[in-house]
Amino acid sequence: MKKVLVTTGGGDCPGLNAVIRAIVKRAAQTNDWEVYGSIEAFNGALRTPKEIIRLNDQKVAGIHAKGGTILKTTNKGGPFNWPVKQEDGSWTTEDRSDEMIDYLKSEGFEVVINIGGDGSQKISHQLQEKGLNVIGVPKTIDNDLSSTDYTFGFQTAVDIATDAVDKLVTTASSHHRLMILEVMGRGAGWIALHAAIAGGAEVCLIPEIPYDVNKVLERLNKRYKDGRGFAIIVIAEGAKPREGSVVTRESDEVGYRNQRLGGVAYQLSDQLKSAGFEHDIREMVLGHLQRGGKPEAFDRILATQFGVKAMELAINGEYGKMVSFIDQEIVAVPLSEAAKGNNLVDPNSFLVQTAKGVGISFGD
Ligand code: F6P
């Protein structure tokens, strides 16, 4: 029997369970692979006692339709940054990668399938370089990994954000209000851009296109002048005003600090009021609702393909690769390439042109 260890690391993402289930089901067809899962990414393989569980058909039954991950996940710890408390109470980290690799090899693990975002895939690559067989599976709701056209979880997040826009429209129109919806995306505006087009927003602000608040104001004033009486802005949490384009008041800072995740919706609200916007504004931070609940069908299918492909790479001994979705095909790319660079929205792309073509302003 050969043993494969599955890990899920970084922020959770709808579709993780579908990947795990697909790995287990594909492995079961071979009769010579056993699947195990480490709890909370690699931390389960580093803790004493170890937290590594056997995964079988029974354990994964029906989980493809559930959000989160049955293996739990974390952004903390891991083989290269294990937290250690010092005598004076402060924390430092230590590299326990050699010890973990020795342990996994001594337990007979042939390969690890590491499901995670760019940070996790950097760890995959480092471990592979140190002699542990690793296969990567990309994951993020932000869809900002350069080595795959799509990541699972993204479509689900877009659907949730679009549903939020649809709901905000009815309350905004009833009150003649401007609604500002903040969505996830620290470095990339994919969720905001897709939700703005799908939901029919008037303004979309993303990290890739710094905005001028006066241009945003212009678009909103036109909208109210046209007699529509309400408006919707979708703003990505990483969106930033163009330098020198906003008047900052003390309340801007207070509004920003009050929000743990992002808070740019409140900042923008203050900026618009300072710039002279006269109508009622309400802000909403969608936050982790975008990562919760069941994955949409597209994400379940993509995640299942990733799981089957990852297990097939394991069966064929094709280690050191990450599964990927490129030009409608499920392929494998070297781990060395996997963690390189981010996939950002191209301001000159047809998608941005499309948004502009239906009257969405980016404040540029
Ligand atoms: O990278 C995925 C993501 O959901 C980002 O969009 C967001 O900024 C971040 O994770 C939130 O992280 P956390 O769950 O640790 O607050």
Q: Is 11 annotated as a binding residue?
A: yes
Nearest CA to ligand 1 atom 16: 261
Kindly give the distance from the C-alpha atom of residue 56 to the centroid of ligand 1, in angstroms, as a whole number: 30
**Dist. CA 4–CA 353, nearest whole Å:** 45
Q: Is 219 annotated as a binding residue?
A: no
Residue 347, pLDDT score? 98
Residue 48 per-residue DSSP state: S
**Dist. CA 213–CA 275, nearest whole Å:** 7
Q: Which atom of ligand 1 is nearest to the CA of 290?
A: 4
**Dist. CA 115–CA 143, nearest whole Å:** 14
Q: Is 26 annotated as a binding residue?
A: no
Q: Is 260 annotated as a binding residue?
A: no
Reply yes or no on whether the pLDDT at 95 is more than 70.
yes
Reply yes or no on whether the pLDDT at 252 is more than 90.
no
Q: Which atom of ligand 1 is nearest to the CA of 117?
A: 1
Q: Do residues 42 and 23 lie in contact, with contact meaning Cβ atoms separated by under 8 Å?
A: no
Q: Is 186 annotated as a binding residue?
A: yes
Kindly give the distance from the C-alpha atom of residue 180 to the centroid of ligand 1, in angstroms, as a whole number: 19
At 259, the pLDDT band (50, 70, 90 cuts) reads: very low
Q: Which atom of ligand 1 is nearest to the CA of 262?
A: 8
Nearest CA to ligand 1 atom 15: 11
Residue 202 per-residue DSSP state: S
Any idea which architecture 157-291 has in CATH? 3-Layer(aba) Sandwich (3.40)
Residue 339, pLDDT score? 73
At 262, the pLDDT band (50, 70, 90 cuts) reads: low
Kindly give the distance from the C-alpha atom of residue 101 to the centroid of ligand 1, in angstroms, as a whole number: 29
Per the omega criterion (within 30 degrees of 0), is the bond before 295 cis? no
Q: Which atom of ligand 1 is nearest to the CA of 184?
A: 6
Q: Given the structure tokens 């330098």, which residue do they identify?
A: 243
Cα first-last separation, the chain = 59
Per the annotation, the verdict on 142 as an active-site residue is yes
- For residue 219, the SS3 value is helix
Nearest CA to ligand 1 atom 13: 11
Pairing outcome for strands 329-334 and 321-326: antiparallel
Domains 2-152+295-338 and 157-291 share a fold: yes
Kindly give the distance from the C-alpha atom of residue 13 to the centroid of ligand 1, in angstroms, as a whole number: 10
Residue 257, pLDDT score? 41
Q: Given the structure tokens 């949490």, which residue do they identify?
A: 237
Q: What are the extents of the domains in the chain?
A: 2-152+295-338, 157-291
**Dist. CA 138–CA 150, nearest whole Å:** 9
**Dist. CA 267–CA 305, nearest whole Å:** 41
Q: Do residues 148 and 324 lie in contact, with contact meaning Cβ atoms separated by under 8 Å?
A: yes
Residue 241 per-residue DSSP state: B
Q: Which of 142, 159, 252, 270 is catalytic?
A: 142
The per-residue pLDDT of the chain, averaged, comes to: 94
| 290-305 tens-digit pLDDT | 999 999 999 999 999 9
* CATH of the domain spanning 2-152+295-338: 3.40.50.450
Q: Do residues 6 and 294 lie in contact, with contact meaning Cβ atoms separated by under 8 Å?
A: no
Kindly give the distance from the C-alpha atom of residue 47 to the centroid of ligand 1, in angstroms, as a whole number: 25
Reply yes or no on whether the pLDDT at 214 is more than 60.
yes
Kindly give the distance from the C-alpha atom of residue 138 to the centroid of ligand 1, in angstroms, as a whole number: 15
- For residue 147, the SS3 value is coil
Tokens linked to 266: 């409140």
Reply yes or no on whether the pLDDT at 246 is more than 80.
no
Predicted model pTM? 0.94
Q: What is the mean pLDDT of residues 35-52?
A: 98
Pocket test for ligand 1, best of 186, 343, 344 (most atoms within 8 A of CB): 186
At 254, the pLDDT band (50, 70, 90 cuts) reads: very low
| CB-based burial label for 66 (10 Å; 0-12, 13-18, 19+) | middle
Residues contacting ligand 1 via CB (< 6 Å): 11, 75, 140-142, 184-186, 237, 261, 291
Q: Do residues 13 and 290 lie in contact, with contact meaning Cβ atoms separated by under 8 Å?
A: no
